[in-house]
Structure 1
C-alpha cells in the first residue's frame, strides 16, 4: 500500500486529535489532516484530495450525511468511512446511499479501523462487526426467501458485493439484458427500488451475511 493521506472530520476536538495521533503512527500513512465539520471539509476539497476520509455524522453547520452527499456530487467518488456513535440501520442506509464506502462505530477496535482503511482503499465496502450484530438483532425470527431461484440468489450476492449488471453478466457468462431482467424480478419480489435497499433487505432477512460483502 502506498503512503496515504487521511482526514478526520469530527467536531469533537479531543476525539479528533486523539484519533489523528493514532492514525499518524501507522507506517503507511504519510499525512493526517483534520476538519471540525462538514463545511470545513468541503472547503478543503477545493484544493486537495485525501485517500481516506473518516466522517462523523452529527456535526454543526453541515453534518456528515450532507457533507458526504455534497462531496461525492461535486468531486466524484471518495473513500469515505463513516465513524460515528450512531449504529442504527437507518443511519447506515442513509450514509451508504450518500456515497460512504465504510461504516464504523467509535466503539470499534483500532485493529478494525486499520482493516477498514485497507479494505476501502482497495475499492471494497467495509462494515464493522458491531453493525452486523445490530442489523442481525432486528431480523424477524422467520427468514423470508420469496422463492428466489438459484440464479436470482447468485445475482443478489453479487449485487451485495457492489458488482454492476455488466460485471455480473461477465462473471456468470450471461447477457447483461438477462441480468437486468433478473434484477427487475428481484426488486419486484422484495419490494425495493434500488440496490442499496436490496442489500439492506438481504441482510435483514439473512439472505446474505455482512461479511460476504467484504470477501
Structure 2
C-alpha cells in the first residue's frame, strides 16, 4: 500500500511539478494539491483527506506554512509535515521545526533526496536535511545525561527555544547581553554546535524544551 502525500504551495507551476515528481515515486501517491494552509485544513475536515505526509511551503497567503504546521501538529499528530521551501535562513528553519516539521528541504533538492526524505519520515518519523544535519548531527546524538549544564544555562536554553532575541533573553534573566552570550557560547562548546538552530533541535530531541 502506498503512502499518501499532499503538496501545499501557492505557486501553481511548482505545485504541479512537485506533485508530478512525487507521483513517480513507487511507494508514494499524491492525494491532492493545495495552494495554501487554509485550503489544506478545509480538506482535513473530511477524514478521507488526511494524508501520511504533507510537503509544506512556508510563505503562502491566507495561512502560511508555519501556522499550518503548528495547527497540524496539535490537531493531527500522526501527519508528518516536511517543509519544502526556498527559505534557508536560520530564523525560518527555527520556526518551522518548533512548529512541528519533521524535516526541512530546499526546493532545489534532488528528486532522489526528496524520495529518501519521504521514506525516512515514514520509517523514522523525521529526516535531517543536509542544510541542517551538517551543523547539528553531533548534537542530535549526544546523551543529555553526559552533558553538565548549569541551572542558568538550562534557563537560557529554554528562552533560546523561543522567538526572543538575545537582548530580550538578557532582560528576562536580569543579566547583561554579554553574560547571556557567555552562556550561549558555553553551551555551543558543550554541545558541539554552532548556531541557535542547534540549541533548539538539541532541546527538542532530548525533551529539554517545554513549550
Shift of residue 196, structure 1, vs aligned partner: 6.0
Q: Aligned match of 2:153 in 186, 189, 193? A: 189
Paired residues, what number? 169
Distance in 2 (alpha carbons) for counterparts of 1:77 and 1:195:
27
Shift of residue 52, structure 1, vs aligned partner: 1.0
Q: CA, structure 1 residues 155+102, in 2 after alignment: closer, same or farther (shift >3 Å)? A: closer
Deviates more, 1:55-64 or 1:19-28: 19-28
Indicate the RMSD between aligned Cα atoms, in angstroms: 3.4
Matches within 5 A, 1:93-108: 93-108=94-109
Query: Which secondary structure state, in structure 2, belongs to the residue aligned with residue 126 of structure 1?
Result: coil
Structure 2 counterpart of 1:11: 10
Shift of residue 185, structure 1, vs aligned partner: 3.3
Q: Deviations over 1:41-96 (max 9, x none)?
A: 11111112111110000000000000111122222242100000001111111111
Q: CA, structure 1 residues 184+24, in 2 after alignment: closer, same or farther (shift >3 Å)? A: same
**Mapped contact 2:52–2:78 kept (Cα < 8 A):** no
Distance in 2 (alpha carbons) for counterparts of 1:71 and 1:126:
18
Moved over 4 A (4+): 153-156, 194-198
Structure 2 counterpart of 1:175: none
Unaligned ranges ≥5, structure 2: 163-183, 206-211
Q: Deviations over 1:109-134 (max 9, x none)?
A: 1111011101111133223213456x
Unaligned ranges ≥5, structure 1: 137-152, 160-178
Matches within 5 A, 1:61-210: 61-132=62-133, 157-158=142-143, 185=149, 188-189=152-153, 191-193=156-158, 202=191, 203-204=193-194
Distance in 2 (alpha carbons) for counterparts of 1:123 and 1:82:
16
**Mapped contact 2:31–2:51 kept (Cα < 8 A):** no
Distance in 1 (alpha carbons) for counterparts of 2:161 and 2:78:
16
Deviates more, 1:31-40 or 1:187-196: 187-196
TM-score (norm 1): 0.66
Structure 1 counterpart of 2:176: none
Query: Which secondary structure state, in structure 1, belongs to the residue aligned with residue 40 of structure 2?
Result: helix
**Mapped contact 2:80–2:125 kept (Cα < 8 A):** no
Q: CA, structure 1 residues 90+195, in 2 after alignment: closer, same or farther (shift >3 Å)? A: closer
TM-score (norm 2): 0.67
